[in-house]
Structure 1
Amino acid sequence: MTGWKLAGIWALRAISVLLVVGSLLSTTELNQWWIRIWDFPRIQILAGMILCLIALAKFDRGWRPWLPLALVGFALWQAYRVYPYTPLSPTEVARVAEQQTDRTGCFTALTLNVYQENREYGRTVDLIRRIDPDIVLLMETDQAWADAVAPALAVYPERIDRPLDNTYGIMFASKLPMRDASIQDLAQKDTPSVLATLSVGGHDFRMIALHPRPPVPKQDTEERDAEIVMAAKQSQYMTLPVLAIGDFNDVAWSDTTRLFKDIGGFLDPRRGRGTYATFPAGMVWLGWPLDHLFMTEEFLFSEMRVGESVGSDHRPVIARLCLDPERARARNEEAAAPDESDEKEAGEVMEEFEQDTARDAVEGEAG
C-alpha cells in the first residue's frame, strides 16, 4: 500500500470517527458551544456519513465492523431527527386555497436578519417595497440600518425599534393595528425581543419576535435556551393566538426548539414540507433553518418561502398567513400539550440560566 493511499484511509477513518463523536455529543444536554454546534448541520452530517460508508466499503476493511456499524447507527439517528422536515412527514398546518387569502383575516409577514455589516441597504429597501408586507421584522439593525430603511417603513403606522451596534438591534413595523407593544431583554442584556398584540380580521393575536445569541466561542447556550423557553412560557399562558418569528440561532430539529413548540403549543408550517433553510445565504441548499415562523392552532397559511439573497448572510422569510380560529382548529394538527417531562426540562433550562447568571455576577464583582 502506497503512503498516499494509507494516508487517505487514515483521513477517511478520522472523518468517520469525528462524525460519530459529533453526533454522540449532540445527543447530550450539555450547553457548551462546541457541543451544541453539532445540532446545526444534521443534514450535512448525514450526507457525510453516507459518503464515508461508501468509501469505507470500497477502500478500507481494517476497522470493520465497528466503524461502519457506528456510522449506520448514527446516520439513522440523524435521519430520524430531520425526517419531520421532509415531504415524507405529515404536515401540521393546513394550507389555505389561494383564492381565500384576500379575506380580512389574512396578512403577509416578512422577517430578515439584515447582517449588520451588510451595507447594501437598497436591496432590503427594494425587498420591503416589492413584497409590501403587513408586518416587517428586521434584526441586526444598528442606527445606520434604521436610517437607511426609514423611507420604506414610513408607510407603516405602527413601529417599535431598538437599534444597537452589537448585532442584536431589532426593528418591527406593522400595518395591522398594534397595542401593548414592548421591546424586552428576556434573558440577556442588550439582546432585545419584541412583544405586541396585533389585530386582523376582527381577531387579536400576540406576536413574539426573538433573536437570541448563538453558540460561538466564549458563548454557550444557557441564555439562548432560556430566552426561547421564556418566550414559550408567554405563549403557554396566553389566551390569544400567538405568532412567533425571528432568528432563533437554533435549528428547527433541536431539542430546544422541540421544547419551545411543546411548551408554547406551537405548530410549524415547515413540517412535512421542507427545511426552508435561510443560512448561509449563499448556500441555502446546504444550509440550516435558523429563521423561524411558528404559530398556534388558530392560524392557516397559503404561502411560506425563503426569498432571494439581499446581501445578508441570511435570506428573508416571507409568509402569507390567515387568522381563522374556527376553520384552522378544524383543519390543523392538534398542538402537542407539554407533559411532565417537558415542564421538568424547561425548569432545568431556567435553573441552568440562573446559575450561569449568578456565576457571571460573582465573576464580574471579583473582576
Structure 2
Amino acid sequence: MSIDLSDEQKAFTQAVDDFCRREAGTREQRGDGPHHPGLYRKMADLGWLGVTVPEQFGGSGAGMLDTCLFLERVGYGQAPVGGFTTSAIVAAAVERSGTDEQKKTVLGGLVNGRVYSIAMSEPEAGSDVANLSCRAVATDDGWVINGQKTWISNAHIADAILLVARTGGSPGDHHGLTMLLIPADATGLSIKGIETMGGKEVNDVYFTDVRVPTDAVVGAVDKGWQQLMAGLNVERLILAALMLGTAQRAFDDALDFIRQRKQFGRPVGSFQALRHRIADLATEIECCRLLVHRVATLVDRDPAKVLPRESSMVKLKTTEVARQVALAGMQMMGGYGYATEYDMERHVRATLVSTIYGGTSEIQRDIIGKTYGL
C-alpha cells in the first residue's frame, strides 16, 4: 500500500488476507449467497466484527481507518459476509444516538456476530428520503407501525431492523422522521425477498400494525433526518472501502489473466491497448485508495464533524471506478470474463449495483455541487 500504516494495522490486514485465502478462497467455500453465517461467526470469534465498536461494548475501539482497512481486505478476499456492512451502519447510528441499553444490545450484538438491517427506501421514496410515508403512530405504551419498505438489504438475515418512519408531518417534510429499532420477529412484520442478479440480498418489508414499546425509539422523536445526516460519513466510507477492495481484486484477476492468455503468439497483456488500459485502471484505483484513507483519517480526527462533500466524493469516485475496472476486466478477458468459471462476472455484478445503493452516483454529484453553492 502507498499509505503508511502502523505495524498493528499491517498485521491486521495480513491476518484478514490470510483468513480470506484459507476460508473463502474457493467458490465452494464461499457458497452461493452474499452472506455466509459460518464465516461471519468465525470473524466474530476473532474479534474483527467489533473493529470500530468501543471497548466498553466488547469491541476493539479502533477508528474509521481500521474499519476501512478491514472492509478493503474483505472485499479483496471476496469473503461472503455481506451482513457486516448494514450491521456496521446500524451500530454506528445507535452509538451516536441510542440509549445505553440500545448500545449494549446492538453494539454488543455486532461484536458477537448478529446482523442488523436499516430500512429507509420505499416504493415512492428512494433518493427522495423526505418523501417517506411508512408511519409510526404513538400509543399509550409505544408505537404502532404501518407501511412498506423496499430494497432493504439483509432484512431476511437480520436480528433487528433500524426503521426510519414518519412520526410527524407529511411526505416531503424532512421534519417528522424517527428511527425505531424493530425486532425482526415482531408480530405483523413480514419480509419478502426481491430476486436480483446479485442473489438474495434485498427485500420488501411490510409493517402491518407492528407494535413496539416507547423505548424502541433511537435518538429523538421527529429528529431522524438530522441523525441520518450525521451518519453520512460512516455509511459512505463503508461502501467505498468495500468497493476499493473489490476493484483491486478485479484488477488483479484481469492482470493475472492477460499475463497468461496468449494470442498471436504472445501474452495479450503485452499489446499496447491492454497495457495502457492497465496503467489507467491502476492509477484510478490508487487515487481511490488515497481518497478512502484520507476521508477516513478526517473522520477519525473529528468523528462528530459531518463531511458532506468528502463523503459523497469518496462514495462516488470509488464505486464508479470499481464498476469501470470490473467492466474493463470482463472486456480484456473476453468470453472468459463472462463465464462463471472465473470471478470476473461476480465482480461485475457486485460493482454495478454499488453506484446505486447508499445514494446513487447522480445524488452524490448533486450533493457535491451544492457544497460549492450551486
Q: TM-score range by the shorter chain?
A: under 0.3
Structure possessing the higher radius of gyration over alpha carbons: 1
Normalised to the residue count of structure 1, the TM-score between the two structures is 0.24
Normalised to the residue count of structure 2, the TM-score between the two structures is 0.23
More strand by share: 1
More helix by share: 2
The structure showing larger relative contact order (alpha-carbon pairs under 8 Å, at least 6 residues apart) is 1
